[in-house]
Amino acid sequence: MTPYSRVDLSTYVVISIWFGCNNDCTICMLGDMKWKLPAIGFDAFKRVLYQIRNEGRFQNLILTGAEVTTFDELGRYARFAASLGWFKKIQIQTNGRRLADKNLIRHLVDCGVNEFFVSIHGLEAVHDAVARVPGAFSETLEGIRNLEAFDVNVITNTVLTRANLLDIPGLFALLLREGVSESQLWNYFPMKRSDTKDLVVRMKDFIDLLPGLLDLGEKAGKALVFKSFPSCLSKGEPGFFDGFFPVTVLPDMFWKEFSECGFGACVHRQRGACRVEDCWGLSRAYIEKYGDERGLLRPITE
């Protein structure tokens, strides 16, 4: 069987450094909160990185926030991280629009960035509607293609919602032809107790997508990573169901709102019948909308 290449997030630490953004995404986990969250100052950033290096826990670093490419000092932060000689990977998480400028990519690579995690949430009309910026899709796709000229690892990230459900097969067929090492599909986080935006996808609809996506991944020889979906829905490689989230440095305000999602709900876990500890189960919003899916989910006992 082909050994599918994918990143090991247990080796990464995430630091949110900036909360400005050039999109206004309908699915943003930060929402209006991003205008209130404080950026981490350079001195505090240096102290955190010194501590990470001294403890020796994490070999790889992720710089994120809202949209870090809109941060004028991103290069300075990346250059300092690289100067420590500790991190094997320095990743930025981005909507990719500013990567349409090859000079920016060259600058970031020169500063030490060698991995890019690029968000793209549908084909042109759907992605632009999610981003609420006309032309966002074209810029992001150009950015992904520009990255092929550099010696960097590229991962794509798509959040599954009712708005982009029908686009997913076509989008993944497109992305898996590009120079990406893996493509991730994330379950939508409502960040509330109810699905007020009507974006949560029913698991039956997700299951219907899986065979076609796995076929695309197998033909491309690339891993598909499914984040925060119930682990028992897995149908094997090249699909990897992954409930692990790396250590993340974020203001307390975010974690308070994140807790409203109420992930981890599962009748089998509640009964002690399932042994998987890092499964995200279902959210409060999902159960309120679709029920607890006790006939669809199954306990994993090994």
Q: What is the pLDDT of residues 168-199, one digit of tens each?
A: 999 999 999 999 999 999 999 887 789 999 99
pLDDT(20) > 50:
yes
Q: What is the pLDDT of residues 64-76, one digit of tens each?
A: 988 999 999 999 9
Q: Which amino acid is at 104?
A: L
pLDDT tier, 251 (very low <50, low <70, confident <90, very high otherwise): low
pLDDT tier, 260 (very low <50, low <70, confident <90, very high otherwise): low
Q: How far apart are CA 166 and CA 119, in angstroms?
A: 18
The pLDDT of residue 212 is 98
The pLDDT of residue 31 is 63
pLDDT(1) > 60:
no
The pLDDT of residue 119 is 98
SS (H, E, C) 153-179: EEEEEEEECCCCHHHHHHHHHHHCCCC
Numbers of helices and strands, H then E, in the chain: 10, 9
Listed range (169-173, 177-181, 230-234, 273-277) with the worst mean pLDDT: 273-277
Which pTM does this prediction carry? 0.93
pLDDT(35) > 70:
no
Q: How far apart are CA 15 and CA 247, in angstroms?
A: 9
Average pLDDT over residues 160-173: 98
The pLDDT of residue 104 is 98
pLDDT tier, 264 (very low <50, low <70, confident <90, very high otherwise): confident
The alpha carbon of 107 is separated from its chain's Cα centroid by a whole number of angstroms, namely: 24
Q: What is the mean pLDDT of the chain?
A: 92
Output the CA angle 63-259-279, nearest 5 degrees.
80
Domains, in order of start, for the chain: 9-261 (3.20.20.70)
Listed range (108-117, 220-229, 255-264) with the worst mean pLDDT: 255-264
